[in-house]
């Protein structure tokens, strides 16, 4: 973007691992031949699933949006609460920036538990409901979200979805995990550059100071913007 935004990013964020890279790194560690991996909420072209092409795993993507066929993987247009896949058919399920949109977490947790083999793993990276962006989002009617995101992030309306934040803090996740036979193996809170303000240099700098504060002070960790979660089916 130039100017203050680029200076701020280079000074404070260039060497900080983005939560997206954290998720990708872990998936590449786990993926291997003979596995079946499901990207739950894969998006129009399943970009994250494509990162696993060389793993030798069977790759499946599912989403409610229109999916464009991709070589080397099966893409299914279906609700994550009701997928046309057999019981115990997946070794690994993952989602990136999806769980904040789930309106019926009970159904999605139950369906994921059904699909996973015993000992199978569900990894998701999602927004923390106590992050300031999430708080504003929860107070703003969903009909206004697309215009706000387009103004601040430049994202097209087709890629903006209603938010619910019903499984987006430790308590909510622990409740649903226990109810559906999952053990929480990893629960991490991550901070990262304030993407919402990337186009507005002064706000980007101000938000960066806030992000750095909550990343440094342990007592403020519950306010960090990202949750990285690994659940294992008992």
Q: What is residue 2's predicted lDDT score, i.e. its pLDDT?
A: 67
Q: Which of 181, 222, 167 is nearest to 40 (CA)?
A: 167
Please write the tens of the pLDDT for every residue from 80-105. Answer: 999 999 999 999 999 999 999 999 99
Confirm if 131 and 214 have CB atoms less than 8 A apart. no
Q: Which of 74, 131, 63, 132 is nearest to 102 (CA)?
A: 63
Domain span at 196:
3-233
Please write the tens of the pLDDT for every residue from 164-207. Answer: 999 999 999 999 999 999 999 999 999 999 998 988 999 999 99
Confirm if 230 and 25 have CB atoms less than 8 A apart. no
Single pTM value for the model: 0.92
Q: What is residue 143's predicted lDDT score, i.e. its pLDDT?
A: 65
Exposure b/e, 151-169, CB count within 10 A at least 16 = b = ebeeeeeeebbebbbbbbb
- The DSSP result for the chain, as a single string, is --HHHHHHHHHHTTTSPPHHHHHHHHHHHH--TT-EEEEET--TT-HHHHTTGGG--EEEEEESS-----TTSEEEE--TTS-S--TT-EEEEEEES-GGG-S-HHHHHHHHHHHEEEEEEEEEEEE-TTSHHHHHHHHS-GGGHHHHHHHHH---GGG------SS-SHHHHHHHHHHTTEEEEEEEEE----GGGTT-HHHHHHHHHHHHHHHH-GGGGGG-SEEEEEEEE-
Q: How many CB atoms lie within 10 A of CB 103?
A: 11
pLDDT tens for the 234 residues of the chain, in order: 569 999 999 999 999 999 999 999 999 999 999 999 999 999 999 999 999 999 999 999 999 999 999 999 999 999 999 999 999 999 999 999 999 999 999 999 999 999 999 999 999 999 999 999 999 888 777 665 555 555 555 555 455 578 999 999 999 999 999 999 999 999 999 999 999 898 899 999 999 999 999 999 999 999 999 999 999 999
Q: What is residue 149's predicted lDDT score, i.e. its pLDDT?
A: 54
Total domains in the chain come to 1
Q: What is residue 118's predicted lDDT score, i.e. its pLDDT?
A: 97
CATH number, domain with residue 25: 3.40.50.150
């Amino acid at each position: 973007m130039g100017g203050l935004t680029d200076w701020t990013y280079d000074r404070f964020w260039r060497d900080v691992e983005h939560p997206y890279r954290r998720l990708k790194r872990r998936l590449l560690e786990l993926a291997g031949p003979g596995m079946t991996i499901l990207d739950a909420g894969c998006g129009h072209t399943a970009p994250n699933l494509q990162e696993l092409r060389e793993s030798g795993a069977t790759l499946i993507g599912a989403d409610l949006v229109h999916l464009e066929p991709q070589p080397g993987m099966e893409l299914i247009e279906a609700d994550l609460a009701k997928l046309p896949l057999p019981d115990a058919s997946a070794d690994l399920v993952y989602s990136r920036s999806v769980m904040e949109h789930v309106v019926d977490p009970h159904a999605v947790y139950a369906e994921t538990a059904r699909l996973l083999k015993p000992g199978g793993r569900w990894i998701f990276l999602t927004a923390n409901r106590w992050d300031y962006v999430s708080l504003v989002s929860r107070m703003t009617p969903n009909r206004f979200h697309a215009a706000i995101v387009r103004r601040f992030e430049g994202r097209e309306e087709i890629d903006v979805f209603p938010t619910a934040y019903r499984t987006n803090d430790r308590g909510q996740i622990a409740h649903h995990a226990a109810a559906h036979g999952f053990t929480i193996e990893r629960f991490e809170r991550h901070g990262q550059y304030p993407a919402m303000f990337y186009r507005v240099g002064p706000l980007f700098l101000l938000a960066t100071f806030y992000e750095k504060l909550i990343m440094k002070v342990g007592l403020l960790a519950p306010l960090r913007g990202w949750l990285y979660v690994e659940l294992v089916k008992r």
